[in-house]
Structure 1
Amino acid sequence: MQSKIDPDMVDLNERHELLYTSSPIAALPIEILSLVFHEVQRTRRATGKPMIPHVEITLSHVCSHWRAVALSLPSMWCVFQHSYAPWYGPVRPTRERLAVYLERSGDHPFDLWIDFKTNEPAYQRLFFPLLEITLPHVHRFRVLHLLSNANHPLKEFVEQLASASAPLLETCAICPDYSHTSLTSLIANKADIFRSGVPSLKYLRMDETSMFGFLPPLDSVVHLRIETRRTVPSWIPNTAFDAILSLPNLETLSLSIELFELQAFPSRGSVPKEPIRANKLKHFRSAYVLINIYTLSHVVAPSLESITMNGVDLAGLDDRPSIPNHVAFPSLRIVAFIRAKGGSHGARHGPNLQKLMAGTQNVEELLFWGKTGIEENTEKTHCMLLGTDSAPSPWKKIKKATLNIPFSSPTEILLYHQFIAAKPNLEVLRVPPRCLELPTFLQGVPPHIDLRAIDESEPPLPLCWVPGPDWLDTEEDPFLFYCRVFE
């Protein structure tokens, strides 16, 4: 006869053991329990929000059996994420936790995600010791994602990476955002870190300071993001930009900063002697008109599928750079216009836009976010992009469009109707949600068009990175700032 156990006679740990052994899940084979652990971990990570304490820690403290199973799985401990947000706690326990993860993950590929952005100078002396313990494990890093700010520039750690080899590294983001002086002799393909090789590197994110002493080899890079995180730019010779565009495996280039000294005016930059060949480039994003003009003027990109930009024409200037009459983008199918940054340099209408449209008549999707920086040019810009009876648009093959433009007056509603009338192949049209509540708008939409409200169900741009599930990032894609829906 089984004896009755007095709960008061056992401690808390023994109670947990008793509860577990009496549970049906105790009979699960270790292989099945391991799958359950990994699925719970995957589900929590997919939310993009930290679970404190982390799933693997919680699971390992349920009972001795679960702890033994969790500790026997190196893959449970191969992702380390930390932010200096209040809910993560102080840095010293973080160092201890990182050391434990590095040990328990064994030889498994390791993902390191740390956000150092904090205004607490006292943490500076703790940062390098935290990262220093990872140095013997760099050879098995699959992800190295470090965000910082001017208070904590990561300089000591990066110096240790100069001659390191990272054969498994696929994703790298080093954005130190530190104060620096301009460098006039920068060569884009001269590596400063990982000089012994990063053959698997595919995704690289940098800020403007990363170009000065934090640059890994770029030959294998497929996706490259260079983003502004400071307000003072540093001018880099356009030869470095040329070298980046010519990278042999580059498919995605995103520039949210006016970083390069370009040949837009006679006194700035240099003109390439030969066309710049970007043979594999598929997606190009730029938030600056001068970069757009330079790229359209000097780059041959036979595989380019999408362009995201704020315009190709400068307004209010006597010396307006012009693009060639023929552009070399035969595969271009998607064009997205984000809102202008403001001021006279944000105008989207003009001869360069006409040339671009005339040379890319196979465009099938148009995304138009907002209006120009100059109010009096808004209607002209819309008419040129959307097309009218008197000035038809060369983009007649458009099948899908996102139009985020004002709709508070009959004139503005007319722009929508003119666009629909000028696009005989239009199948899908996305507009601001409140626009769908206006009978004056709905009356001009033929029944065969799939009319949708702009929402979060679809990406706002042909190419965007959303913080959270996939990248565990902590900063918003800067291009999404220009995609706010009119209300």
Structure 2
Amino acid sequence: MRGCFQNLLPLTRPSQNGTVVQTESTLIDAQLDRATELVEGRGDRGFSIPTAANITTQFLRALSFGDAVKDVNIELTGVNLLPLEILGDIFLQALRSADSSERDSCSAPMNLSQVCRHWRWVALSMPTLWSSLSFSFHPRRLKTWKKLVHLWIERSGEAPLSLFLSHHHHVITQILAPCLPRLSYMSVYLSLDTIYEFLSTPFTNAISLTAVDIVHHDSVRETLDRTSKFVSSLPALRRLTWHSASSPTAFLGLSLPSLTQLTLHAPVPFDLSCAFLSKCSSAVHIELHRIQGPSQLMAPVKRTILPSLEFLLIHALGDINLLAFLDRFTFPSLQTLSIRPRSALSNHQSIDNLVERSSCEIKTLCLLGPLLEAHSVINYITRLSLQSLTELHITASRILDPVIKTLTCHNSSLDVLPNLIKLVLGWCATTDGVISEMVASRWGQSSAAAACLVSVNIEFWPFELLGSYYEPGHDQDVLAFESFREHGMAISWRSSLSM
């Protein structure tokens, strides 16, 4: 069946597509604690969820590589003693944890069905295992392909469907038409060759389609315009991800008041991005990754209130003032702000003004970009309007000692970010011992801050000598980091040379 049809779980956004049943590990653990007591009473070994899920995953991977089950040195007895509901949850978890690069073209649920009669019965009784459809169509195998797709749809029962399309054919339209009301997530790869076939599908019947990911193979204006028309026709659309090399002018002219989440990987003029965002009145999560200079002279500032927006990412493509973007909006619910400028940031007062007029508390701040200098970073983290931060991400040109020393607590009223619990620092070029001293001042019983760091991630920047780069010497820092980790802190570090 290679190249005909695959079932691939949505690894990039499993928590958002809404089609694969997600079972919280804590809930499974609680159920398994009760199940383990039964298992231990009937044999000499019990199975925790890592053991059971690992066994399932190993079988799945062995079958994906074409290995015989008898060659895998694992016992199934303990796993098969688990209640059916728990085993089904483990199947879902194992499928999510198996890397797609390790799978053969035979679909993962099929592999589970081949292990033993009991596993086949459980797999066939779980429609959600069969609810993700990935099409890789080949005309020479049309007959086999159609049978397999029909089998998948039949086994999915009435479960919401996830659809992954990298090719399109009129046969796909025929097969999917009766299932469109069940479609809730779709990822599609579009080109000028496939756009007409794709749009022949009556997606107006997709009344449950709430999330769509679109990748454009080309930048032909006709493709972008037709895709924009398709987006506007979806009655239930709430979450959209759009990738294109050219600015989707027609899309930016749409009004999508029901859209709650947008991720836009496309060059967008400053003025058009402001105008488009102003029409997203229900937005909760917005990512604009490639804002460029205005397409025309900027109109006078007219502020728009987006009452529900909690997450905003604005990354510059050209030399523009991203803080001027913030001057055009009020975000009463804003909690996370990510900024990536292409020029040195100025007018830091814009952040204070935004927080003041929005009456919001920003909890997470991400400052990214090679042109962020130490004085600019310090200007941000010392602002009174940002002292509510609990999470800070900084990736600057080079993070030097002054930035780290500003973050170091001394049990004084001058300490910054007293509520910080998570810290991510990229491109650190600091003196050995400076970072570990800062971390120690914010952790454990010796912490001088109101809250203690619980998660730290450090990337050291290599130093250059005679045109070559070398690993930085941070023996003192690393020794302290190892001690922090031994005592329970979630801390990690690496050199950018090892990336």
| Deviation, structure 1 residue 65 | 10
**In structure 1, C-alpha distance between the alignment counterparts of 2:336 and 2:202, rounded to whole Å:** 35
**In structure 2, C-alpha distance between the alignment counterparts of 1:280 and 1:198, rounded to whole Å:** 21
- Residue in 1 that maps onto 2:354: 328
- Residue in 1 that maps onto 2:242: 206
Q: 1:210 to 1:271 in 2, by over 3 A?
A: closer
| Deviation, structure 1 residue 305 | 0.8
Counting matched residue pairs gives 388
Give % identity: 13
2:383 corresponds to 1:358: yes
TM-score by length of 1: 0.61
CA contact (8 A) 1:176 1:210 kept: no
Residue deviations 1:271-294 (CA, integer Å, cap 9, x gap)? 454212121111122332747323
- Residue in 2 that maps onto 1:402: 423
CA contact (8 A) 1:140 1:168 kept: yes
CA contact (8 A) 2:348 2:380 kept: no
**In structure 2, C-alpha distance between the alignment counterparts of 1:297 and 1:420, rounded to whole Å:** 38
Q: 1:159 to 1:237 in 2, by over 3 A?
A: farther
CA contact (8 A) 1:246 1:277 kept: no
2:270 corresponds to 1:249: no
Which ranges of structure 2 fall in alignment gaps of 5 or more residues? Answer: 1-75, 461-471
**In structure 1, C-alpha distance between the alignment counterparts of 2:448 and 2:352, rounded to whole Å:** 25
| Deviation, structure 1 residue 97 | 2.6
- Residue in 1 that maps onto 2:110: 57
Residue deviations 1:415-461 (CA, integer Å, cap 9, x gap)? 664687699415116243899973367789999x97542279xxxxx
What SS does the aligned partner of 2:325 have? helix
What SS does the aligned partner of 1:179 have? coil
CA contact (8 A) 1:433 1:453 kept: no
| Deviation, structure 1 residue 144 | 0.9
2:466 corresponds to 1:430: no
Q: CA RMSD in A?
A: 5.2
2:216 corresponds to 1:176: yes
**In structure 2, C-alpha distance between the alignment counterparts of 1:254 and 1:445, rounded to whole Å:** 36
CA contact (8 A) 1:79 1:110 kept: yes
Query: What letter corresponds to residue 297 of structure 1 in structure 2?
Result: D
Which ranges of structure 1 fall in alignment gaps of 5 or more residues? Answer: 1-23, 117-123, 457-482
Query: What letter corresponds to residue 230 of structure 2 in structure 1?
Result: I
What SS does the aligned partner of 2:110 have? helix
Map 1:238-277; keep pairs closer than 5 Å.
Answer: 238-258=271-291, 261-262=293-294, 268-271=296-299, 273-277=301-305
Equivalent of 1:155 in 195, 200, 210: 195
**In structure 1, C-alpha distance between the alignment counterparts of 2:234 and 2:428, rounded to whole Å:** 54
**In structure 1, C-alpha distance between the alignment counterparts of 2:223 and 2:459, rounded to whole Å:** 48
Q: Which moved more, 1:39-48 or 1:414-423?
A: 414-423
**In structure 2, C-alpha distance between the alignment counterparts of 1:413 and 1:90, rounded to whole Å:** 64
Q: Which moved more, 1:271-280 or 1:298-307?
A: 271-280
- Residue in 2 that maps onto 1:439: 476
| Deviation, structure 1 residue 269 | 4.7
- Residue in 2 that maps onto 1:164: 204
**In structure 1, C-alpha distance between the alignment counterparts of 2:255 and 2:200, rounded to whole Å:** 16
What SS does the aligned partner of 1:328 have? helix
| Deviation, structure 1 residue 354 | 3.2
Query: What letter corresponds to residue 160 of structure 1 in structure 2?
Result: S
Equivalent of 2:326 in 283, 296, 302: 296
Q: 1:385 to 1:287 in 2, by over 3 A?
A: farther
CA contact (8 A) 2:401 2:434 kept: no
- Residue in 2 that maps onto 1:309: 339
Residue deviations 1:364-399 (CA, integer Å, cap 9, x gap)? 334344431xx6xx548836974799xx97844242
Residue deviations 1:170-205 (CA, integer Å, cap 9, x gap)? 321122232224999x9xxx9612555433x33221
What SS does the aligned partner of 1:206 have? strand
2:103 corresponds to 1:47: no
- Residue in 2 that maps onto 1:17: none
CA contact (8 A) 1:284 1:307 kept: yes
CA contact (8 A) 2:271 2:298 kept: yes
Q: Which moved more, 1:422-431 or 1:280-289?
A: 422-431
Query: What letter corresponds to residue 438 of structure 1 in structure 2?
Result: D
**In structure 1, C-alpha distance between the alignment counterparts of 2:321 and 2:364, rounded to whole Å:** 18
- Residue in 2 that maps onto 1:18: none
CA contact (8 A) 1:361 1:394 kept: no
TM-score by length of 2: 0.60
The structure whose residues are more often helix, as a share, is: 2
CA contact (8 A) 1:279 1:301 kept: yes
Query: What letter corresponds to residue 350 of structure 2 in structure 1?
Result: P
CA contact (8 A) 2:425 2:459 kept: no
CA contact (8 A) 1:193 1:214 kept: no
The structure whose residues are more often strand, as a share, is: 2
Q: 1:193 to 1:91 in 2, by over 3 A?
A: farther
